[in-house]
Structure 1
Amino acid sequence: MLETLRRIVGEVGRARDLTVALDAIVRGVREALDVAVCSVYLVPRAKVGQADAPLMLMATEGLARKAVGRVSLSQAEGLVGLVAQRAESINLDNAPQHPRYKHIANIGEEPYHAFLGAPILLRGEVLGVLVVQDRDPRRFSDDQESFLVTLAAQLASSIVQAELSEAVAHPASGRKKVVGEAIRGVPGAAGVASGIAVVVYPLADLEAVPDRRCDDPEAELARLEVAREAVRAELAALRLGMAQRLPDEECALFDAFTMMLGSESLFAGMEKRVRGGLWAPAALRDTIREHAEVFEAMDDDYLRQRAEDVRDLGGRILERLQEVENGTRDYPEHAILVGREITVTHLAAMPEGRLAGIVSARGSSSSHVALLARALGVPAVMGASELPVERLDRREMYIDGYRGVVHVEPRGTLRGELERLVREEAQLSAELAGLRDEPAITPDGTRVHLYVNVGLLADMAPANNVGAEGIGLYRTEIPFQVRENFPGEEEQTRIYREALAAYAPRPAVLRTLDVGGDKPLGYFPIVEDNPFLGWRGIRLTLDHPEIFLTQVRA
């Protein structure tokens, strides 16, 4: 069951719109539980949290397809409404005998007696109900109920993300609009800002690649061809190396990869998408997804597993594309970094003076990046799990770090109100600047010293500009995080000298290397069940005196 859960959740996560996501759910659940019917009812997004919110049939396998989008129940109606009202699962062996049973004509529901419904909940609010039904009067097993409840819980954020992705991609359509609507996360760093979203994504992560238009299709196709040849050479070298250690049949995977690289259908799909206006990474993403889904739909288990090989090949090509892209990325004047997970490396790559804010689908107010945002004086919204990241590149965005709210391309009155907030924020900052050099003294005469929390050399100018009296904490792990290997003694000495010189003769406190948890080193992986309570900070450096002593000398 666990593998089935992962497969369904993964398929939904890769869906490009709500309809595809919901169809994947009902098809996958019906097959996994071997039932006659699986349906999804959703609350309209604008009415989530309201007691009188209706539940609309949005997808089904087993009932009449013509009922989709037409059948609607209040939360006071039927067993589906009861599941939503109680916000808990209901398992019945003979649904028509239940006092809350409601017969809906002409949808083909009459033959079904067994009923199991699970609420789809996100942050305590009912988004909808996932239902399975079967002909014979029977209670579903505990394992089946646990499966449905677990799946409903895992699907909640994926459904919302698919809904938002569709609405952001097609704001003018008749479906629910979220352009301008509030997308909620948690406050990471105070402030209000507007700017242009710049989506950043991990290396070789196809699903995180953002949509972006290209102005020069020929240049994008040339990039794809260069990446293709680079991967071909890489695979040939790997094949040669493995052939010395393994028999030919074990090296067949490399031959299969090479054959796929030569597949004209694969690259014809990419070319078609590029000529349609997509940049190379997004064309690669969509083509690889399309081919992987063909394998995933096959009955043969061996062939289904080949979907992962297709994605592996796509990841290799993307990695080569990114080698070129990383040297050519351009940042708008007021850039808002957006990503599933923003890292210190992303911040370090940002040109000085261009960062307006940060929005991350993951993380919390205590995340390392949130702390850095405060040090840099830019607003941040963390944990915005509903954010359709891949649809937001180069979109206008307003972020409210006080409330943890993001608005994409707001319009009308809302836009005017947000612009007013940005102006007021700038005015407040200007007023506070007038107090910068005043001593910090409480009404009863106690002197308070105000220090800064820094880690990047880029932090120094903003911190100095707000009148800090010294460095309360210099996080030495940050220079380690933005490099591809451990910095040597001379390099560390230079970094620390520059930090101290920026505040001389004011006091400074430097902390030795503190990595682990949400502060990993890409070149020094630590694999633990709970990295936050494990081998981190001083525990790590005491076990590696060569790292510790080099830093202390520096």
Structure 2
Amino acid sequence: MLETLRHIVQEVNAARGLEEALDIIVRRVQDAMQTQVCSVYLQDGNNDRLIFRATQGLNQALVDEASLPVGEGLVGLVAARGEPVNLEEAEKHPSFRFLPGIGEEQFHAFLGVPIIHQRGVVGVLVVQQAERRRFDESDEAFLVTLSAQLAGVIAHAQVTGVLESRVLTGAVPAKITGVPGAQGVAIGTAVVVSPGADLYAVPPREVKDRRKQVRAFREALEAVRKDIQVVADNLGAELSPEDHALFDVYLSILDDSTIGAEVVGLIKGGQWAQGALSQVMIEHIRHFERMEHSYLKERAVDVRDLGTRVLTYLQAANQEPRAYPDRAILVGEELTATSLGEIPREKLAGLISVSGSGNSHVAILARAMGVPTVMGAVDLPYARLQDRELIIDGYNGTVHLNPLPEIKQRFQEVLDQDAALSKDLESLRDQPCVTVDGHRMPLWVNTGLMADVTRSLEQGAEGVGLYRTEVPFLLRDRFPSEEEQRQIYREQLEAFAPKPVTMRTLDIGGDKSLPYFPIEEDNPFLGWRGIRVTLDHPEIFLAQVRAMLKANEGLWNLRIMLPMVSNTAEVDEALALIHRSHEELQQEGLTGRLPPVGVMIEVPAAVSQARLMARRVDFLSVGSNDLTQYLLAVDRNNPQVAGLYHSLHPAVIHALEFVSDASRAEGVPIGICGELAGDPGAAVLLLGMGYDVLSMNATSLPRVKNALRNVTVKEAERLLAEVKEMESAKHISGRLDRFLAEHGMEKFIHNPVA
């Protein structure tokens, strides 16, 4: 069973579209289960009907024609119940309904299982037999297992199939749902960001200079042939003649009379060389993957490798400075900090990432930059969106393709309202954040790029609560030297002086891996990251701390913060290294005292030991993004569970108050530098808990300042007491929205776009 399942799933995954995927399913299931009929019905969400979409054994002329309402007939019963129906004599069941012309009157045994994706029924998979018998448990288990494995593939193919046939080829509007990454609205032109040498990420593109493209392809082919010949010659003495013959096979695959001829044919038809190569190589890869013989199946790897090598040369030959349109919207499978750094900031209007969630690193950077972003748009056929007009709704996490004029007008109005609100809040820039009853709340910013500095100061930032030192590391192809780090840190400290700047020591691992220091783990967020990495590599930690201390000379506005701490031993070890660095630099002539050192509270273990941590350091700072992730056991980068990630979960609220109480008991200042601090409603709760400093992205600062200047500490404390009795994030979020509305701040309520 497992082997059969693997083969079917593999074939369906390799299908080029929904029709091919459904055809594979009905043929392979009929064959595997030795039944006379296998059919697939898919739900049409527009009219709540189940459409007869594919069959092996029934009347194929009625495919896409026959249908029945959900809840009607046996197929409708399966969909309505969301569970299997297994009958020996289907026609005797009270829900049985005869569909004229479909040809199922001779079949008595019936087994239907629901195809469920993200808790919703997207279709029904059915097998039927003329013999009156009940399908046994193994049959039912096989079909249920197959349905569960294919549900996501079918749902994705169904959406993208409609998009490609109706939306991308015409002017039919469509809305793709993802996850909110950074609030705001963007209307602009798509710029597809493709990862290097990925055959599956090459967008189709038509060209006029076909001869130039053919010439580029043949030059790339010749370069790969030479590479293979060099490798073959180098290994000639170490391989047997049989093994050495494999290189001849590689060279023959690239022959002009085989794959090469197919690619040239597509180029001459108007396709650019990279797209033609991608199309041909993927076709051959799928061909090999479908083969039964294991040796032949493994040749798919060789074909993929060859195609990737040729593509690498084609991309290198096509390296030209990219021209970005005004109001460019970057679209890609997985956007990175590097891709953000390649486009001029004045050209960037928005971001769409197929992978990731609203709390992945690139989304946090986008919020810091004030760039509307949608993450986890898994159904978006991103490779085909180049130069298309798109609308990003960063409030609700949706992308609009081919928007109708009235839709575009509505979003333009929201854009204008956002701009007007930002202008209204400009007057607060030089005003202190003081509550109605006179309580002072310093508002700091989270930074990582020099571009953040100007924006932060323009918004009235009073300091930096989190400088992400890993960002300069991420933007390089090697570890920056101590002197390079000193210069980078000095720029940050000078830009904000005399305001305090809190520099977090290197926090890599999890979703932030360095290309030159890869960390391969099955569960990276519970693995080697943050302080664990730098304590295991004290040479990295010492160089960074020395660079920070040198950069602080004469400015004296540095604060050092330790990430991902889970026990007091880590704090003690890190403090010993910091003191050692300081003493060594004093011997070299450094003046000044050791700057304040603090700990980030990001994991449940640190929450419970908050008082012990506070006794060792000068300040505590909660990282609410990771704390939420670890408390709720939700990977914040996984769009499949994004709906479970909520920083207003009651467990998070209680943990935040516990840490605040612990810090005050020890007389140590407490701040928070997670995204929660940038939410106006949540900021009122944090005020009520007694937090001393809120640090957020620069875009959120004016909104939070406005909110806190309209409340009293007593009101915040009463709101906190009320919220602590609530049982869900939904109720807490709703109460915060009502609180804002009661205080005349409806403009800060979530999701202004319906």
Using structure 1 for the length normalisation, give the TM-score: 0.91
Q: Distance between the aligned counterparts of 1:143 and 1:459, measured in 2?
A: 60
Residue 459 (structure 1) aligned with residue 452 (structure 2): yes
- The 3 A distance-change label for structure 1 pair 417 and 45 is same
Shift, 1:310, TM fit? 1.9
Matched residue type, 1:423: D
Point out where structure 2 has 5 or more consecutive residues left out of the alignment.
548-754
Q: Secondary structure at the match of 2:466?
A: strand
Are the aligned partners of 1:397 and 1:407 in contact in 2 as well (CA < 8 Å)? yes
Give distance in 2, aligned partners of 1:291 and 1:141.
39
Equivalent of residue 57 in structure 1, options 44, 52, 57: 52
Residues 105-133 of structure 1, C-alpha deviation per residue, up to 9 Å, x if partnerless?
A: 33232343443323223332222222233
CA shift for structure 1 position 135: 4.2
Question: How much is the aligned-residue C-alpha RMSD, in angstroms?
Answer: 2.6
User: Is the counterpart of residue 433 in structure 1 residue 426 in structure 2?
Assistant: yes
From the superposition, tell whether residues 55 and 397 of structure 1 become closer, same or farther in structure 2 (CA, over 3 Å): same
Give the 3 Å change call, closer, same or farther, for CA 172–338 of structure 1 in structure 2.
Answer: closer
1:161/1:387 contact within 8 Å kept: no
Q: How many Å apart are 1:39 and its aligned residue?
A: 1.8
Flag the 1:386–1:457 CA change in 2: closer, same or farther, 3 A: same
- 1:234 and 1:65, CA in 2 relative to 1: closer, same or farther beyond 3 A? same
Q: Classify the secondary structure of the residue corresponding to 2:345.
A: coil
Counterpart of 1:183 in 2: which secondary structure? strand
> Are 2:85 and 1:96 aligned?
no
Counterpart in the other structure of 2:362:
369
Which of 61, 67, 81 is equivalent to 2:62? Answer: 67
Q: How many residues align?
A: 547
Q: CA deviation at 1:365?
A: 1.7
Cα distance in structure 2, aligned partners of 1:94 and 1:316: 58
Give deviations 1:227-267, integer Å, cap 9, x for gaps.
22222222223223333433232244332221111143312
Cα drift, residue 71 of structure 1? 1.0
Q: What displacement does 1:509 show?
A: 0.9
Alignment of 1:117-196 (within 5 A): 117-140=112-135, 142-171=137-166, 179-196=172-189
AA aligned to 1:265 is T
Query: How far, CA to CA, are the matches of 1:325 and 1:165 in structure 2?
Result: 29
Mapping for residues 37-436 of structure 1, pairs under 5 Å:
37-47=37-47, 53-140=48-135, 142-171=137-166, 179-436=172-429
Distance of aligned partners of 1:154 and 1:372 in 2 relative to their CA distance in 1, 3 Å threshold = farther
Asked whether the equivalents of residues 168 and 391 of structure 1 are also in contact (C-alpha less than 8 Å), the reply is no
Give the match's secondary structure for 2:346: coil
Counterpart residue number, 2:488: 495
> Where does residue 50 of structure 1 map in the other structure?
none
> Cα deviations across residues 257-309 of structure 1 (Å, max 9, x unaligned)?
21111143312322232333333222112111222333345454433332332
CA distance in 1, matches of 2:454, 2:32: 58
Q: Which amino acid aligns with 2:37?
A: V
| Structure-2 residue corresponding to 1:515 | 508
Q: Is the 8 A contact 1:167 1:179 kept in 2?
A: no
Superimposed CA distance per residue, residues 488-536 of structure 1 (whole angstroms, 9 cap, x where no aligned partner) = 2222222222222332222111111112221122232222221110111
**Larger deviation, residues 368-377 vs 210-219:** 210-219
Worse overlay, 490-499 or 317-326: 317-326
Output the amino acid matched with 2:369.
L
Corresponding residue number in structure 2 for 1:17:
17
Deviates more, 1:74-83 or 1:423-432: 423-432
SS at match of 1:73: strand
- Percent identical pairs in the alignment equals 51
* Corresponding position of 2:732: none
Superposed displacement of residue 378, structure 1: 0.7
C-alpha distance in structure 2 between counterparts of 1:504 and 1:9, whole Å: 59
1:303-322 Cα offsets, whole Å, 9 max, x none, are: 33323322222222223333
Match in the other structure for 2:641: none
- 3-state SS, counterpart of residue 46 of structure 1: coil
Per the alignment, do residues 28 and 491 of structure 1 end up closer, same or farther by CA in structure 2, a change over 3 Å counting?
farther
Cα distance in 1 for residues equivalent to 2:272 and 2:460: 45
State the shift of 1:200 in Å: 1.7
User: Cα–Cα, structure 1 residues 396 and 293, in superposed 2: closer, same or farther, change >3 Å?
Assistant: same
Over residues 22-71 of structure 1, what are the superposed CA-to-partner deviations in whole Å (9 max), with x where a residue is unaligned?
Answer: 22332343344443332221122434xxxxx1100111222221120111
Higher mean displacement: 180-189 or 10-19: 10-19
Q: Distance in 2 between matches of 1:10 and 1:431?
A: 56
Secondary structure of 1:353's partner? helix
1:488 and 1:3 mapped to 2: Cα distance?
Answer: 52
Change (3 A) 1:504 1:116: farther
SS at match of 2:443: coil
Aligned-pair CA distance for 1:326: 5.0
Quick check: 372-381 or 538-547, which moved more? 538-547
Query: What secondary structure sits across from 1:510 in the alignment?
Result: strand
State the shift of 1:327 in Å. Answer: 4.3
Asked if the contact 1:165–1:391 (Cα under 8 Å) also holds between the matched residues in 2, the reply is no
The verdict on how the C-alpha distance between 1:339 and 1:123 changes in structure 2, with shifts beyond 3 A counting, is same
Shift of 1:2: 4.9
Return the offset for 1:455.
Answer: 1.6
User: Once the 2 structures are TM-superposed, how far is the Cα of residue 341 of structure 1 from its aligned partner?
Assistant: 1.6
Secondary structure of 1:264 counterpart: coil
Q: Residue 171 of structure 1 aligns to a residue in which SS?
A: helix
* Partner SS for 1:330: coil
- Name the CA shift for 1:82/1:540 in 2 (closer, same or farther; >3 Å): same
Q: CA 1:34–1:334 in structure 2 vs 1: closer, same or farther (change >3 Å)?
A: farther
Q: Deviations over 1:183-206 (max 9, x none)?
A: 111111111111111222333322
Give the conservation status (yes or no) of the 8 Å contact 2:469–2:506: yes
The code of the aligned residue for 1:285 comes to S
Letter of the structure 2 residue corresponding to residue 459 of structure 1 = D
CA spacing shift, 1:238–1:89, aligned 2, 3 Å: farther
8 Å CA contact 1:191–1:401 kept in 2: the answer is: yes
Deviating more after overlay: 463-472 vs 24-33? 24-33
Say which SS state the counterpart of residue 521 (structure 1) adopts: coil
One-letter amino acid of the structure 2 residue matched with residue 200 of structure 1? V
Paired letter, 2:73: G
Return the alpha-carbon distance in structure 1 between the equivalents of residues 72 and 111 of structure 2. 16
* Paired amino acid for 1:468: A
Task: State which of 478, 493, 508 in structure 2 corresponds to 1:485.
Answer: 478
Amino acid at match of 2:377: A
| Structure 1 residues 141 and 494: CA distance shift in structure 2, 3 A | farther
Any conservation in 1 of the 2:167–2:173 contact (CA below 8 Å)? no
